[in-house]
Amino acid sequence: MSLVPPRSGGPRPNVPVVLDGEEVSAYEGETILALARRVGTDIPTLCYLDGLSIHGGCRLCMVEVAGDSRLPLACATPVTAEMEIRTDTTALRNHRRRVIELLFAEGNHICATCVSSGACELQDLAATNGVDHIHYALEFPRTDVDATHPKYVLDRERCVLCTRCVRVCDEVEGAHVWDIAHRGNSSTLVAELGKPWGEASSCTWCGKCVLVCPTGALSFKGRSTGEMRHDPDVIEFLTRLRDEGEWVDRQEVSS
């Protein structure tokens, strides 16, 4: 499944689709999310990241498709000819607000004391979707902060289980330090089947997991409130260079 449209000079989009009342052309195999981003339509996401496999866990990118009573995931649903898609309806806005509220209720997301305040994707989603209070009972989980690594910190109370760190460590770095243990409300991010992060011998100290974290769950040591800045776009850059053989070409030229 292609998530990135072909480069200029390649085949032109030829699949007719109606997106929010406008007729647009999609590439064969292109997902609804890729199409929407290509034509400038915003669909909120949290677990999705260009360059990584599709997780489909945050449920924020659900859209309405004519003839389908379900709410398909834009990140995982390929377009088909004559598909009629709606990305911004009252029902979808209400759904997204509920999902965001649940994410806040499940963790301890105190923005005023978070290292990523002002640079947090969950915080931004709350602001853009009008979430200014929580209708659900707050769980106030009591989880440990893992500061055993010499360079990084894991604060599980701010983790939204998006698995970005799991996927980037496995698919890009090839180390597979991270995984999700247990199920339901007991689900938690673990390093090497439950070791303290500082004792994980497979960790390469690359920092990619920290860069892609959408909240303050993963951060660099020494950052105080509001100082942590993530850079998830670097993963799309790295994977694109790998796919295009850019580093191989440069090595051959230099030799």
At the topology level, CATH places domain 112-239 in Alpha-Beta Plaits (3.30.70)
Pairing of strands 83-86, 15-19: parallel
Residue with tokens 């991010």: 189
pLDDT confidence tier of residue 232, bands split at 50, 70 and 90: very high
Render pLDDT for 41-74 as a digit per residue (tens, 0 to 9).
Answer: 999 999 999 999 999 999 999 999 999 999 999 9
Domain ranges of the chain: 1-88, 112-239
Rounded to an integer, the average pLDDT of 130-136 is 93
State the angle between helix axes of 246-254 and 233-244 in degrees (0 to 180), rounded to the nearest 10.
60
**Structural tokens at position 120:** 């947090």
CA distance 248 to 243: 10
Q: State pLDDT tens for residues 192-227.
A: 999 999 999 999 999 999 999 999 999 999 999 999
pLDDT for the residue numbered 242: 84
Mean pLDDT of 135-139: 92
CATH assignment, 1-88 = 3.10.20.740
* CA–CA dist 62, 17 (Å, integer): 17
pLDDT of 88 above 70: yes
Give 91's contacts (C-beta < 8 A, 6+ positions apart).
Answer: 64
- Please tell me the distance from the alpha carbon of residue 63 to that of residue 17, in angstroms, as a whole number: 14
Residue 40: closest CA among 105, 99, 87: 87
Point out which residues pair with 84 in neighbouring strands.
18
* Average pLDDT of span 108-127: 95
Share of residues in the chain with pLDDT > 70 (%):
92
More confident residue, 29 or 244: 29
